[in-house]
Amino acid sequence: MEPLKAPSHKPALEKILPQLGSSITYKKFSNEKPNGVTMWHYHPEVELVFIDKGSGKRHVGNNISYYNDGEVILLGPNLPHYGFTDRLTENNKEIVVQFLKEILGDNFLGIPEMRSINALMERSKQGLSFKGETKKEVAILLDEMEQMNHFDRMIRLLKVMNVLAKSNEYQILNASAVTIETDPKSNERIKTVYDHVRANFQRTISLDEIASLSNMTVPSFCRYFKKLTGKTFTQFVNEFRITHACKLLSETPNTIAHISYECGYNNFSHFNKHFKLYTSKNPSAYRDEFRRVVN
């Protein structure tokens, strides 16, 4: 299996320009019109993403995880993330809504009626994933938003945020609240590290190799990476491999031994040990559970 290819363009603050006369950016993507933003990036806008009947990797802050059957994701300002779709993802539809928190105004967010939405905004700084009935309800509200004028879109956005604020069908993605520094030099360095892992996770990546790529000594790199992500580089690589294994277990009929090899593990028992450590299940139990859910 060919490894994921890292984006070639440099990371940068994504410039988001709403349509003239509007404070909200609304975009809809499909298989015929895919979302081209796949780089490691950030922006001051809050981002709300609906993915319909798709699956893929989430890469939010220091968290890498996998989703099935679509979801709704809410990201707070300046929370670094990759695009959630790639060439392996079969998405029916994707809707992205972006807006500055300031459009709601601090005084407005402070009134009693907005207390729950204000709390949602605070939680969004860690990245949130919504499922179940919440996802279904928000999907309809966002889909209808496409045909609305600017004023009605603003009212609809408040309704969507109210639905999310009242929901308990969510999980926190970046639970440790560790975000990547957003100065250009640090962003360039961490993006280089992440892209290298994405392109080479199927083989051994030594600390000497990754430290040299970052123009740092091994001890300096280890301290830098742990401070930024809250985990060691080895933990990060293993987490990336297991996340990819979850994807293959869910989407392919390949044997577990073959998947282990495809994810960079030459030792099958080592793969089983790491898989259970990160998912609390062994690979066969994970695949069986996924199939029961789908059926």
Residues 287 and 242 in one domain: yes
Residues 157 and 205 in one domain: no
Q: Which of 131, 157, 172 is the last residue of a domain?
A: 172
Q: With pLDDT > 90 as the criterion, what percentage of the chain qualifies?
A: 38
pLDDT score of 252 = 87
| Domain-embedded: residue 193 | no
- Closest residue by Cα to residue 286 from 267, 265, 271: 271
Q: CB under 8 Å to 291, separation ≥6 — which residues?
A: none
Task: Provide the domain limits for residue 127.
Answer: 24-172
pLDDT score of 148 = 92
Q: Are residues 102 and 46 in contact, defined by beta-carbon separation less than 8 angstroms?
A: no
The larger pLDDT score, comparing residue 112 to residue 189, is at: 112
Domain CATH code at residue 51: 2.60.120.280
Residue 206, SS3?
coil
pLDDT score of 36 = 63
pLDDT score of 88 = 38
Residues 236 and 285 in one domain: yes
Number of domains in the chain: 2
pLDDT (tens digit per residue) in 32-67:
676 666 677 888 899 999 988 777 778 887 777 777
| Domain-embedded: residue 226 | yes
Question: How far is Cα 39 from Cα 49, in angstroms, rounded to an integer?
Answer: 16
Domain CATH code at residue 276: 1.10.10.60
Q: Are residues 280 and 289 in contact, defined by beta-carbon separation less than 8 angstroms?
A: no
Residues 168 and 243 in one domain: no
Residues 136 and 206 in one domain: no
pLDDT score of 7 = 37
pLDDT score of 15 = 66
Q: Are residues 96 and 52 in contact, defined by beta-carbon separation less than 8 angstroms?
A: no
Residues 34 and 148 in one domain: yes
| Domain-embedded: residue 181 | no
Residues 131 and 74 in one domain: yes
Q: Which of 135, 154, 172 is the last residue of a domain?
A: 172
- Per-residue pLDDT at 176 exceeds 90: no
| Domain-embedded: residue 18 | no
| Domain-embedded: residue 71 | yes
Distance of CA 274 to the CA centre of its chain: 22
Question: How far is Cα 162 from Cα 165, in angstroms, rounded to an integer?
Answer: 5
**Residue range 7-20: average pLDDT?**
54
Tell me the one-letter amino acid at 244. Answer: H
Residues 213 and 166 in one domain: no
The larger pLDDT score, comparing residue 1 to residue 34, is at: 34
- Per-residue pLDDT at 121 exceeds 50: yes
Phi, psi at 133, each rounded to 5°: -65, -30
**Residue range 1-29: average pLDDT?**
60
| Domain-embedded: residue 166 | yes
Q: With pLDDT > 70 as the criterion, what percentage of the chain qualifies?
A: 82
Residues 52 and 142 in one domain: yes
Residue 3 banded pLDDT, cuts 50, 70, 90: very low
Question: How far is Cα 202 from Cα 2, in angstroms, rounded to an integer?
Answer: 10
| Domain-embedded: residue 84 | yes
Question: How far is Cα 241 from Cα 26, in angstroms, rounded to an integer?
Answer: 33
Residues 209 and 159 in one domain: no
| Domain-embedded: residue 35 | yes
- Per-residue pLDDT at 283 exceeds 80: yes
- Top-confidence range, 46-55, 88-97, 143-152, 228-237: 143-152
Residues 222 and 150 in one domain: no
Q: What is the mean pLDDT of the chain?
A: 82
Residues 32 and 83 in one domain: yes
